[in-house]
């Protein structure tokens, strides 16, 4: 699908939205592969998100929200539709304690969905707010972390989010976290919505102790995960009762390459772009990992990474080429 000039004209006329027609998506993802989107719309505030989604809905244009691109694999053929991205104006934190007076039991902080989760975790630690230690090494945005229920070391977003502000074609409103469907590495947001802000409920704590927990988690990550490489983190979810990485390693796949992509020698559930990988290379390795784990351990691995603009090779063809149901318009 190529967007009609009418849609482009209407989007261009919007206040608070910037357009990039035929936008390459690889630079917006940490793995750095894949093709172009018909249009990338960068929005500066919530009314602009609503107005953009209204136009896309009226013209039945498929769309997806892009966060920090740390959990996304874009098809080499690109994405036929619009990619909506929150601008830097969505990087903020309101309600941080000012250090005066007695701390309440729970501090509510409102954070823009574009804010990097790990950065907010660091700011919260410095302010003596506990609960986000698990997030200190997770590189995504706060909005993406809600959509994927990001987590580590047995904690996840579901435990610290009080409410989420969702924008859709009809407007924006706050939804209680308890009213959303949280699951392992997913949160089912109402169809056609973008997370624009998140209210965290954090507990007062001792900064030095919280920072020590951060350091311990970062040390653990550094010893177990590849560093300074292009990757989207874990390719597959951990099946119940075990780690996907261990199963892939036991299948003898560490270091295996296809084209410019490699199964990390450090952590077998990480795929690395060695420099000139294509998404086809990455998908070929994901298929191999799945097949070999099925053959050697009788376990069916499910992808953790979201594939945009295509279906995974093992999925029935004709399935809706996909993105996260969480954010799909």
**Residue ranges that bind ligand FAD, judged by CB under 6 A:** 30, 64-72, 86, 113, 138-141, 143-145, 147-148, 150-152, 185, 194-195, 231-233, 306, 323-324, 326-327
Closer CB to ligand FAD, 61 or 128, in the complex: 61
Residue 93 — φ and ψ, nearest 5°? -140, 125
> How many whole angstroms separate alpha carbon 305 and alpha carbon 319?
17
What's the token pair of residue 180?
């959303």
> How many whole angstroms separate alpha carbon 58 and alpha carbon 212?
51
Closer CB to ligand FAD, 42 or 128, in the complex: 42
Min dist. Cβ of residue 287 to ligand FAD (A): 21
Min dist. Cβ of residue 283 to ligand FAD (A): 17
Residue 263 — φ and ψ, nearest 5°? -80, 120
Please answer whether residues 301 and 65 qualify as being in contact, where contact means their C-beta atoms are separated by less than 8 angstroms: no
Please answer whether residues 125 and 207 qualify as being in contact, where contact means their C-beta atoms are separated by less than 8 angstroms: yes
Please answer whether residues 236 and 302 qualify as being in contact, where contact means their C-beta atoms are separated by less than 8 angstroms: yes
Closer CB to ligand FAD, 50 or 138, in the complex: 138
Min dist. Cβ of residue 162 to ligand FAD (A): 17
Closer CB to ligand FAD, 6 or 216, in the complex: 216
Closer CB to ligand FAD, 128 or 272, in the complex: 272
Min dist. Cβ of residue 166 to ligand FAD (A): 8
Min dist. Cβ of residue 120 to ligand FAD (A): 12
Closer CB to ligand FAD, 40 or 194, in the complex: 194
| Euclidean distance between the first and the last CA atom of the chain, given in angstroms as a whole number | 15
Closer CB to ligand FAD, 29 or 278, in the complex: 29
Min dist. Cβ of residue 192 to ligand FAD (A): 10
Min dist. Cβ of residue 1 to ligand FAD (A): 18
Query: Which residues touch 268 (CB under 8 Å, ≥6 apart)?
Result: 245, 246, 248, 249, 253, 254, 289
Closer CB to ligand FAD, 52 or 231, in the complex: 231
**CB atoms inside a 10 Å sphere around CB 123:** 16
Min dist. Cβ of residue 18 to ligand FAD (A): 17
Min dist. Cβ of residue 328 to ligand FAD (A): 7
HEC secondary structure over 30-92? CCCCCCEEEEEEEECCHHHHHHHHHHHHHCCCCEEEECCCCCEEECCCCEEEEEEEECHHHCC
> How many whole angstroms separate alpha carbon 63 and alpha carbon 76?
17
Q: CA dist 246 to 6, 156, 167, 297, Å? A: 51, 21, 39, 11
> How many whole angstroms separate alpha carbon 128 and alpha carbon 126?
5
Closer CB to ligand FAD, 31 or 128, in the complex: 31
């Amino acid at each position: 699908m190529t967007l009609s000039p009418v849609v482009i004209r209407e989007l261009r006329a919007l206040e608070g939205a910037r357009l990039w027609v035929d936008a390459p998506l690889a630079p917006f993802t940490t793995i750095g592969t894949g093709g172009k989107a018909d249009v990338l719309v960068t929005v500066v505030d919530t009314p602009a998100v609503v107005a953009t989604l209204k136009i896309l809905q009226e013209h039945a244009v498929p769309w997806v929200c892009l966060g920090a691109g740390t959990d996304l694999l874009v098809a080499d053929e690109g994405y036929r539709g619009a990619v909506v991205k929150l601008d830097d104006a969505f990087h903020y934190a309101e309600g941080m304690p000012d250090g005066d007076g007695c701390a309440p039991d729970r501090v509510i902080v409102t954070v823009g969905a574009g804010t990097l989760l790990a950065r907010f975790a660091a700011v919260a630690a410095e302010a003596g707010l506990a609960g986000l230690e698990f997030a200190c090494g997770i590189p995504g945005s706060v909005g993406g972390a809600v959509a994927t229920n990001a987590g580590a070391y047995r904690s996840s977003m579901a435990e610290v989010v009080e409410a989420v502000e969702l924008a859709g074609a009809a407007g924006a409103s706050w939804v209680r976290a308890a009213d959303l469907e949280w699951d392992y590495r997913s949160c089912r947001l109402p169809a056609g919505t973008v997370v624009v802000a998140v209210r965290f409920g954090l507990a007062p704590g001792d900064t030095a102790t919280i920072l020590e927990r951060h350091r311990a988690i970062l040390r653990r990550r550094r010893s177990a995960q590849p560093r300074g490489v292009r990757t989207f983190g874990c390719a597959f979810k951990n099946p119940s009762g075990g780690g996907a990485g261990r199963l892939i390693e036991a299948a003898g796949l560490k270091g295996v390459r296809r084209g410019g992509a490699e199964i990390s020698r450090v952590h077998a559930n990480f795929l690395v772009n060695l420099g000139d990988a294509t998404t086809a290379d990455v998908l070929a390795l994901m298929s191999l990992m799945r097949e070999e784990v099925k053959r050697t351990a009788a376990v069916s691995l499910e992808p953790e990474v979201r594939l945009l603009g295509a279906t995974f090779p093992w999925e029935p063809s004709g399935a809706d080429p996909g993105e996260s149901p969480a954010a799909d318009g």
